[in-house]
Structure 1
Amino acid sequence: LEHLAGRPLQRIGLSATIAPLEEVAKFLVGYRDDGKPRPCVIVDARFAKPIDIKVLCPVDDLVHTPSEVVNESIYRLLAKLVQEHRTTLVFTNTRSATERVVYKLRKLLKEEGIADMDEVEAHHSSLSRDIRLAVEEKLKRGELKVVVSSTSLELGIDIGYIDLVVLLSSPKSVSRLLQRIGRAGHHIRQVSKGRIIVVDRDDLVECTVLAKAALDKKIDRVHIPMKPLDVLAQHVIGMALEQEWDVKEMYKLVKRSYNFYNLEWNEFISVINYLAGRYGELEEYNVYAKIRFDEEKGVIRRKRGIRYIYYLNAGVIPDEAKIHVFTEDGKYVGDLEEAFVQILQPGDIFVLGGRTYEFLRSYGSKVIVRKAEGARPTVPSWFSEMLPLAFDSALLVGEFRAKIAEMIRKNVARDKIIKWIGSNYNLDRKAAENIYTYILEQYLFTNGLVPSNKLILIEIFIDEDTTNYIFHALFGRRVNDALSRAYAYVLSKLANTNVRITVTDNGFMLTIPGRYRLVDVDKLIKDVDSSNIE
């Protein structure tokens, strides 16, 4: 933009939930031609607004209370909070959960005389734009008692006055927690009031740590990709569309960006050669030149017909490919995501729309199945839209678990530990007792080996017809997804069989067919290290 404007621009960046500010500031303003960052003034007003955050436990005992009772108590607690406030915004973590909560809340609030059914609405990205705008307008006019959303109302939309935000389960990062609760009392001098309702013990531990981190101003660090060559390729094509460039001038301009300030000349030229079709062997894969590069004159210009391709393919957000599922007789069943289909093997039993099906085969964008009523699923449910736990937040959760385990190891009195949890993390006694009991049980069962940010515990579990290697690794789903693939590769070599992977925020499971298919775990661990994994 500065190049097009022909003069220096003033850049202004605003965010209430971002860190580290120094790096983000460099990203915003970029670098000068001498390789030094442009000057930037940072005003840190992220925590000027007062916040009121509490974690709520729906029942006194999360361990022994039946799940249906816990579920009923969650909605009763939610209804009580709605009754006590004028307008409540409820956040879930998935679109399907949003629809489920709206359905149950409408019935409950009408039965209790708290609100009419038309005063409770859903708002998520799968709804049409007209419906979403209608909900937002009703919210602004104060016509709604409750709005339930997944992520679509987190930021950027003016939704009027909200006096309470309720989070059903963990928001999975401190930044998202602050973004969501910041929707309440949406004025600099008003208190942002938020309540987090937990659904199980792991959720209780996670929410407790995230709430404390938010109050302590520990925001998750953003990851800014450096030298993303795919993004550079897009920009080079875009620049060539607008004018003819001297290759050295283009390189100088690219290096003013924070992401490319350390881009080497040979890396830049390799991208130019790729776009100019200098790697002829790629043509057999239908990869053709997209720019013209006159190496003698050092000039880059556009190639005819590329503008249309550029506009169709700009951006780095991958498409969500849906695979259609049909029975053997051609009856349409529903859709699965492409990534889930990739892990399916003939004979696998999975759940779709509340029913079980056996996977037979797939071709193109179709999956063929047969009904498997009553059969036990062999593939875990697919939760691709579930938010992953942020890495920094995951480390804090592991650190907290280690702290409690260390107190138990040092024979600190039970009551003293519970009081410490309650006072330091703003919990009532029952919630603090649930956390203490949970970690104590882990400690006793594993003889003191409680998984943490510094300890990975490996459990071998023998099922009816499989052997499962469970890695209790508290690093969040993104890290665990990468680790699981590396260890699965080694395990497949050791056991000479295919490996099924199941990943969560708190670990991953590698499953191989057959009972007691035991391998050398020491070798499994040692064969994955920093020299052979990127």
Structure 2
Amino acid sequence: MDAAQPPTTPGEQVLAWMQGRGWQPFAFQEDVWQAVAEGRSGMLHATTGSGKTYAVWLGMLDALLRRHRHGRQAEPLRVVWLTPMRALASDTTKALTAPLRDLAPNWTIGLRTGDTASAERARQDRRMPTVLVTTPESLTLMLTRENAREELASVEYVVVDEWHELIGSKRGVQAQLALARLRGFHPGLVAWGLSATLGNLEDAMHVLCGPDPQPGPRLVRGRIDKTLVIDTLIPPDPGKYSWAGHLGARMQMPVVEEIERSGTTLVFTNVRSQAEIWYQLLLEARPGWAGHIALHHGSLDKATREWVEQGLKEGTLRAVVATSSLDLGVDFLPVERVLQVGSAKGVARMMQRAGRSGHAPGRPSRVTLVPTNTMEIVEAAAARWAARTGRVEKRIPPSKPFDVLVQHMVTVALGGGFRADDLYAEVTTAWSYRHLTRAEFDWTLVFCERGGESLAAYPEYHRIVRDEDGVYRVKDKGVAKRHRLGVGTIVSDAAIQVKFLTGANIGTMEEGFIARLKPGDHFFFAGRLLEFVRVRDMAAYVRKATRNKGTVPTWQGSKMALSTELSDAVLEMMQNAARGEFTEPELEAARPMLLTQQRLSEIPTPGTLLVEGYRSREGEHLYIYPFAGRNVHLGLASLLAWRLARERPNTFSISINDYGFELVSAEPFDVEPVTSQRVFSGDDLLHDVLASLNSGELAQRRFREIARVAGLISQGYPGQPKTNRQLQASSALFYEVFRKYDAANLLLTQAENEVLSQELELSRLGETLRRMREKQLVFVPLRHPSPMSLPLMVERFREKLSTETLAARLERILKDAEADNA
């Protein structure tokens, strides 16, 4: 088609391209094409593997072709495609290349992440590609360049893939600020978000699209009849009692047999240590699978992860044991089955993982849940019910994180500079900063300019300078270098390389775990049994071990909390059981446990709050079951213990899980404040929560992350990383200095707010107290531990007892209970 012909109608060119490949567009894809042609930003929500990528990409490509000479001449950077994962970035680049090559052969596509080779970066610096696939961190780094406006002003479209993965985190805020900057460069910018698992779509769309975009944004829901199969691998004889992990190893052979009956299978676990355990369990059962099964998690060496991903794409691996490192939309067509070991803890996470199988329109996705205790059998039925009824979790963006704003301010000062009024107007177009006051902005400005009230005497914290034209810039080359090395909001504990004595790299582990090892200790990592030899130059050197026992490495933050949506669904299933309705196969399997709970106590339901009392040689036990998740239960248990001890001095031990918590006191205590529900009052909640916890210690730990994001401390230079201890010491020093000499420091306030909102989930805690007050409280004195109370005992025993002592103690408890009920 030559330039003399009239412009084509929206979608005409890309429709012809699809038809040439024997494809027909879905209605939702054509809806997106039309919206993009109208210049609308928006949000596309559709099931995994249904064609979201081509819906948005072909719409944008079509619009570009109608405006820019049909791809006959090279174009500057027009499209930025943001992804949350490097592996996903590579896969996306391949997907976008095919139509670009056919429809606009002179246009180019590039990939820019932390893994991009320096030679490729240099080529891009000389001439940007027409389409750039990148991550939030790499886009922010591009904004630090002096000529950022010239390089990025041509961008007309931005796509944020897997928006649900970003929106609730500081990475999402980083993306918001980058989008605000790009809109400043190009006011007509069109932005689209893609997601398969979000419960608050309208809110998510407005967070992405900014304030009052004209024309108005469009929410498109992909109505694709894609079969989602959710079933459960029910343990043989779950029994009347079960606790966390109790049934795990017993599921070894059922899992092996499922893999044998299936094609390529993904076995998901929630944490890396569990992935290491299950990889060993599979090899122990089938030694001949060595080389045909693999392990994938974020601590493994990049080359190993890429080998595993390639094996999945080619279908050469029988099974891969993985964590969230393979959650997102990398296209593994050969994958037929997904097994989820243990609870997924959330409906959205379970559906996301299910979508890794049957990753193409028309193919069914199947996830099989593998419970590791009896309550997880009930959870499996609840998760399926919640997915069918659309009860998917919402994602809420952080509000005014000042550490991210500090980082962004220095970024913009590096990237050509800014005037204060202009940047304030721009920043407040980002959703998370829409309520930012000018006083808060000015405090941040002063903090970047001279370190606030307490750091004014230290030049290294004078990061930006105002010139005679009123423009703030970064003048110091050292500040610029440190800032660029520290760009990003992902904060993890200091990692240490794990290497063989030959120098071959295996991966990275937390420094805290390595620090606990002595030469000669054995541990499993990357699917191998290793012997620790020594640490030298920030590397842990190991050799292959021959002994068959090892310690499984434990990573920080390993326990996720049950979501509200899934908790409520579990209570719905429990109510069915209380009525004698065991219609789901999972409830039938859990019937012995549920009937034992009913005989010894009561079954919790949505309308009741179960409280159990028990007396043992240890003292008085109180069990309360709000079903609010472990984070809320930690805050609740601490709060109630403090309130009870305030009325009558006492000391309590605490144990928690996702369903409830235990308070234990050596001294008797009055349960009337609990049974009357007086102790569940929402009055003075903030004061009481702060008084009941070591909130100062929690805030100091949280401040360490904030200080890193805000650029107060750095993790060192390449080849010269700082140790965990150095980082802790630096952040602790800043924390104390600010508390003593700069009490109004907004970073301190942020640390306290993040502890309350994220670690203790204060708003959810308050809502849980309200719901507890509104329920009918059922108090049951126990003669023996109930099936729901025993797991809480086990959680506490594990802190004190060896595995052998714990097993003997549990055997005695269960024998006594059975004898009394015989």
What is the rounded CA distance, in whole Å, between the counterparts of 2:403 and 2:323 in structure 1? 31
**Pick from 221, 231, 240: which aligns with 1:54?**
231
Aligned to 1:481: 634
Q: For residues 72-99 of structure 1, give each alpha carbon's deviation from its aligned partner in whole angstroms, at most 9, with x where no partner exists.
A: 6522221221222121111122222222
Deviation at 1:323, TM superposition (A): 3.3
Aligned to 2:274: 97
Q: For residues 142-179 of structure 1, give each alpha carbon's deviation from its aligned partner in whole angstroms, at most 9, with x where no partner exists.
A: 22211111222111333341111111221111111111
**Pick from 179, 190, 206: which aligns with 1:10?**
190
**Pick from 245, 256, 278: which aligns with 2:418?**
245
After TM superposition, the structure 1 = structure 2 runs for residues 267-278 of structure 1, keeping only pairs within 5 Å, are 267-277=440-450
Mean CA deviation greater in 75-84 or 431-440: 431-440
Aligned to 1:361: none
Instruction: Answer yes or no: is the 8 Å Cα contact 2:297–2:322 preserved in 1.
Output: yes
Deviation at 1:214, TM superposition (A): 1.6
Bigger Rg, which one = 2
Deviation at 1:101, TM superposition (A): 1.7
After TM superposition, the structure 1 = structure 2 runs for residues 45-84 of structure 1, keeping only pairs within 5 Å, are 45=222, 48-63=225-240, 70=247, 73-84=250-261
What is the rounded CA distance, in whole Å, between the counterparts of 1:333 and 1:286 in structure 2? 46
Letter in 1 for 2:198: I
What is the rounded CA distance, in whole Å, between the counterparts of 1:500 and 1:191 in structure 2? 48
Aligned to 2:202: 22
Mean CA deviation greater in 221-230 or 261-270: 261-270
What is the rounded CA distance, in whole Å, between the counterparts of 1:5 and 1:202 in structure 2? 53
TM-score where L is the length of structure 2: 0.50
What is the rounded CA distance, in whole Å, between the counterparts of 2:647 and 2:485 in structure 1? 45
Instruction: Answer yes or no: is the 8 Å Cα contact 2:333–2:360 preserved in 1.
Output: no
**Pick from 344, 352, 363: which aligns with 1:171?**
344
**Pick from 298, 316, 320: which aligns with 2:489?**
316
What is the rounded CA distance, in whole Å, between the counterparts of 1:286 and 1:318 in structure 2? 26
Instruction: Answer yes or no: is the 8 Å Cα contact 1:56–1:198 preserved in 2.
Output: yes
Aligned to 1:366: none
What is the rounded CA distance, in whole Å, between the counterparts of 2:492 and 2:457 in structure 1? 24
After TM superposition, the structure 1 = structure 2 runs for residues 31-50 of structure 1, keeping only pairs within 5 Å, are 31-32=211-212, 39-45=216-222, 48-50=225-227
Q: For residues 187-212 of structure 1, give each alpha carbon's deviation from its aligned partner in whole angstroms, at most 9, with x where no partner exists.
A: 01101122112222210111111122
What is the rounded CA distance, in whole Å, between the counterparts of 1:458 and 1:65 in structure 2? 19
What is the rounded CA distance, in whole Å, between the counterparts of 1:66 and 1:465 in structure 2? 20
Instruction: Answer yes or no: is the 8 Å Cα contact 1:465–1:515 preserved in 2.
Output: no
Mean CA deviation greater in 69-78 or 186-195: 69-78
What is the rounded CA distance, in whole Å, between the counterparts of 1:66 and 1:210 in structure 2? 19
Deviation at 1:124, TM superposition (A): 1.6
Aligned to 1:350: none
Mean CA deviation greater in 71-80 or 19-28: 71-80
Secondary structure of 1:315 counterpart: coil
Change (3 A) 1:242 1:66: closer
Aligned to 2:363: 190
Q: For residues 287-319 of structure 1, give each alpha carbon's deviation from its aligned partner in whole angstroms, at most 9, with x where no partner exists.
A: 94443469x997544463432343344333332
What is the rounded CA distance, in whole Å, between the counterparts of 1:454 and 1:291 in structure 2? 57
**Pick from 504, 507, 528: which aligns with 2:657?**
504
Aligned to 1:148: 321
Instruction: Answer yes or no: is the 8 Å Cα contact 2:567–2:629 preserved in 1.
Output: yes
What is the rounded CA distance, in whole Å, between the counterparts of 1:469 and 1:66 in structure 2? 18
Aligned to 1:345: none
Aligned sequence identity (%): 25
Provide structure 1 residue ranges, at least 5 long, that are not aligned to the other structure: 336-352, 354-380, 408-413
Instruction: Answer yes or no: is the 8 Å Cα contact 1:220–1:392 preserved in 2.
Output: yes
Change (3 A) 1:287 1:38: farther
Q: For residues 110-141 of structure 1, give each alpha carbon's deviation from its aligned partner in whole angstroms, at most 9, with x where no partner exists.
A: 5xxxx633212211222211112112222222
Q: Which has the higher helix share?
A: 2
Deviation at 1:43, TM superposition (A): 1.5
Letter in 2 for 1:505: D
Letter in 2 for 1:245: F
What is the rounded CA distance, in whole Å, between the counterparts of 2:243 and 2:400 in structure 1? 51
TM-score where L is the length of structure 1: 0.74
After TM superposition, the structure 1 = structure 2 runs for residues 218-237 of structure 1, keeping only pairs within 5 Å, are 218-237=391-410
Letter in 1 for 2:302: R
Letter in 1 for 2:512: I
Aligned to 2:561: 388
> How many pairs align?
460
What is the rounded CA distance, in whole Å, between the counterparts of 1:399 and 1:43 in structure 2? 31
What is the rounded CA distance, in whole Å, between the counterparts of 2:323 and 2:421 in structure 1? 47
Instruction: Answer yes or no: is the 8 Å Cα contact 2:331–2:359 preserved in 1.
Output: no
What is the rounded CA distance, in whole Å, between the counterparts of 1:285 and 1:442 in structure 2? 64
Change (3 A) 1:463 1:273: farther
What is the rounded CA distance, in whole Å, between the counterparts of 1:506 and 1:258 in structure 2? 34
Letter in 2 for 1:77: P
What is the rounded CA distance, in whole Å, between the counterparts of 1:98 and 1:25 in structure 2? 35
Instruction: Answer yes or no: is the 8 Å Cα contact 2:343–2:380 preserved in 1.
Output: yes
After TM superposition, the structure 1 = structure 2 runs for residues 279-298 of structure 1, keeping only pairs within 5 Å, are 279-281=452-454, 288-292=461-465
Within the alignment, does 1:202 sit opposite 2:375 as a pair? yes
Instruction: Answer yes or no: is the 8 Å Cα contact 1:487–1:524 preserved in 2.
Output: yes
Letter in 2 for 1:45: G
